[in-house]
Amino acid sequence: MKCAGRPAAAGLSDEVSARLDTIQIAGESPAQGAFPLILTLDMHGVPHRWISWQHACYYYAKDQVAWSLGERAFTVHGGLNRVTGERSRISAASIIAIKGKAMAMKSFGQVPPLNNRELFHRDRQMCAYCGGMFTTSRLTRDHINPFSRGGKDTWMNVVTACRSCNEKKSDRTPETARMELIYLPYVPNRAEYLILTNRRILADQMEFLAQHVPAQSRLHHKSAQ
């Protein structure tokens, strides 16, 4: 909520800033949370992060949007300009490049945080031992080299496993347990991580991010089977 409630952003009257409440996206109800997130890039076009529509308005109002991509745009209507009588509005694209330092250059190379949600998504909800597909509640994070044997909690040492396979494997390595991995772990890059963390990606955003995902990623396969 960095934009909507903030008065006197450059280019916006107080009235407009206070009234960024009439939102129109074709075919969607204006309920809070119904709007897709906006993908930001750095000046070089490197994916950076997801932001809310309010945050996107803030960048537009501050004239910090260098250029934009994407077919899908939304428009935020503000109040009437007292002088011209025209209604203020901001139109935003689904992908925007933000002016300033190349902030994404650093973060792009960083290892994204490890969470079960993104891990299960990386592994397409498939158990690495039996190959079964499961709902999230029936999945676990398996440490290939177990914690008790010095295994680390990192993307490269974890796979998705169903509860029964995890129990069967117990505190053993796959070799000792004679449970072969049917796929290998990997560290998602920034673009893939952005895909994994957002369940409502617009088609043009997905198309853009997919170009930055390494060819060996499982995201390029419709099914891991």
Task: Give residues in contact with Zn ion (CB under 5 A).
Answer: 127, 129-130, 162, 165
Taking the complex as a whole, how short is the minimal distance between the CB of residue 163 and Zn ion, in angstroms? 8
Strand partners, 6: none
List, in sequence order, the alpha helices (H) in the chain.
14-18, 53-61, 103-108, 116-122, 163-169, 174-177, 190-197, 203-210
Taking the complex as a whole, how short is the minimal distance between the CB of residue 157 and Zn ion, in angstroms? 18
Of 55 and 169, nearer to Zn ion (C-beta) is 169
Taking the complex as a whole, how short is the minimal distance between the CB of residue 147 and Zn ion, in angstroms? 19
Of 165 and 194, nearer to Zn ion (C-beta) is 165
Taking the complex as a whole, how short is the minimal distance between the CB of residue 138 and Zn ion, in angstroms? 9
Of 140 and 197, nearer to Zn ion (C-beta) is 140
Which strands form 65-80's sheet, in the order they lie side by side? Answer: 22-24, 65-80, 87-98, 38-41, 47-51
Of 43 and 133, nearer to Zn ion (C-beta) is 133
Q: What is the gyration radius of the CA atoms in the chain, in angstroms?
A: 22
Cα gap 39→37, rounded to integer Å:
7
Cα gap 77→24, rounded to integer Å:
8
Taking the complex as a whole, how short is the minimal distance between the CB of residue 89 and Zn ion, in angstroms? 53
Of 56 and 128, nearer to Zn ion (C-beta) is 128
Of 165 and 209, nearer to Zn ion (C-beta) is 165
- Is 151 in contact with 144 (CB distance < 8 Å)? yes
The helix, strand and coil proportions of the chain, stated in percent and rounded to the nearest 5, come to 30, 25, 50
Taking the complex as a whole, how short is the minimal distance between the CB of residue 173 and Zn ion, in angstroms? 16
- Give whole-number Cα distances, 131 to 127, 165, 169, in Å: 5, 10, 15
Which residue in the block uniquely carries the two structure tokens 């450059």? 10
Which tokens sit at 139?
A: 């999945």
Of 163 and 200, nearer to Zn ion (C-beta) is 163
- Please enumerate in sequence order all residues whose Cβ is within 8 A of that of 28, keeping only pairs 6 or more positions apart, or say none: 34, 35
